[in-house]
């Protein structure tokens, strides 16, 4: 039953047709306001100094905060809000990539296999959409390495490795892509020889102490595997 506006004396003076017109007008206003808020969120969404999150707890990880262009802390924008924006604006690639990163982090934090898989599938969906829609080399490379990583974890390591390789063609030497590809080759494809030069290249890039330790630990396992020793992975 529609809510009818009250008269000055508290009565309900309008007939049903009048009430419908009133509620219709209100609905239009609500829709217009929502559209404006949505447009503002899209327009304001620019990651400032953002960096790639990882879908692996041992991978190098940036702690640089991200904000929207209007100064809103991105951590205060919910996944549901962002999903609503990309559903209405499919070509907002940076927001899709931010969602991918959130879902990868959530997958890291999930304890159950089903929950982890769900988060990775969400990440892969948006990575695929981003890869198909990206117009800049940086976004294309970022989308491809996420798509490759999630594909390798979920279904097809060889195909995933190929996608990460494509990302490295677009952005040679990217630390995230090097880590993803080395991990896929060693952990998923059992190819220690192919993983070794990637990890050595990664160690030659500027990384912090924690990241360097993670890479060195992986390289030690690779070298052990090449020598025929157990890796205890």
For residue 200, pLDDT beyond 60: yes
d(CA 104, CA 122): 9
For residue 141, pLDDT beyond 90: yes
d(CA 19, CA 149): 55
**Average pLDDT taken over every residue of the chain:** 76
pLDDT digits (tens, 9 = 90+) for 129-140: 999 999 999 999
pLDDT at 65: 41
CA dist list (Å): 218 to 153, 179, 213, 224: 17, 10, 9, 10
Which among 98, 109, 127, 121 has a CA at the least distance from the CA of 57?
A: 109
For residue 213, pLDDT beyond 70: yes
Q: How confident is the model at residue 8 (pLDDT cuts 50, 70, 90)?
A: very low
CA dist list (Å): 60 to 46, 51, 63, 98, 207: 23, 11, 10, 17, 8
On whether the CB atoms of residues 44 and 8 are closer than 8 A, the answer is no
On whether the CB atoms of residues 4 and 21 are closer than 8 A, the answer is no
Token code pair at residue 83: 């999903």
73, β-bridge pairs: 67
d(CA 199, CA 179): 7
Window from 28-32, 70-74, 168-172 with minimum mean pLDDT:
28-32
Q: How confident is the model at residue 71 (pLDDT cuts 50, 70, 90)?
A: low
Token code pair at residue 229: 């020793």
Say which residue, 3 or 151, is predicted with more confidence: 151
Q: How confident is the model at residue 77 (pLDDT cuts 50, 70, 90)?
A: confident
d(CA 194, CA 76): 41
Q: What percent of the chain has pLDDT over 70?
A: 66
3-class DSSP state of 73: strand
Residues 221-232, mean pLDDT to the nearest whole number = 83
pLDDT digits (tens, 9 = 90+) for 37-66: 444 455 454 443 344 444 453 343 443 345
């Amino acid at each position: 039953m529609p809510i009818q506006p009250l008269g000055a004396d508290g009565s309900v003076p309008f007939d049903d047709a009048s009430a419908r017109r009133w509620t219709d007008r209100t609905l239009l206003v609500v829709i217009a306001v929502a559209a404006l808020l949505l447009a503002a969120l899209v327009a304001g969404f620019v990651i400032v100094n953002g960096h790639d999150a990882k879908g692996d707890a041992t991978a190098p990880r940036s702690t640089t905060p991200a904000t929207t262009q209007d100064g809103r802390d991105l951590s205060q924008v919910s996944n549901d809000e962002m999903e609503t924006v990309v559903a209405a604006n499919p070509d907002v690639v940076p927001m899709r990539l931010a969602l991918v990163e959130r879902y990868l982090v959530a997958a890291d934090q999930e304890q159950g296999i089903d929950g982890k898989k769900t988060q990775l599938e969400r990440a892969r969906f948006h990575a695929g959409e981003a890869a198909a829609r990206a117009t800049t080399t940086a976004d294309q490379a970022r989308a491809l390495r996420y798509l490759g990583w999630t594909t390798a974890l979920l279904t097809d390591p060889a195909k995933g490795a190929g996608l990460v390789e494509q990302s490295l063609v677009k952005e040679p030497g990217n630390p995230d892509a090097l880590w993803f590809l080395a991990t896929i080759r060693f952990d998923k494809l059992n190819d220690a020889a192919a993983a070794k030069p990637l990890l050595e290249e990664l160690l030659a890039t500027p990384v912090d102490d924690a990241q360097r330790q993670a890479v060195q630990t992986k390289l030690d396992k690779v070298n052990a595997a090449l020598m025929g020793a157990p890796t205890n992975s």
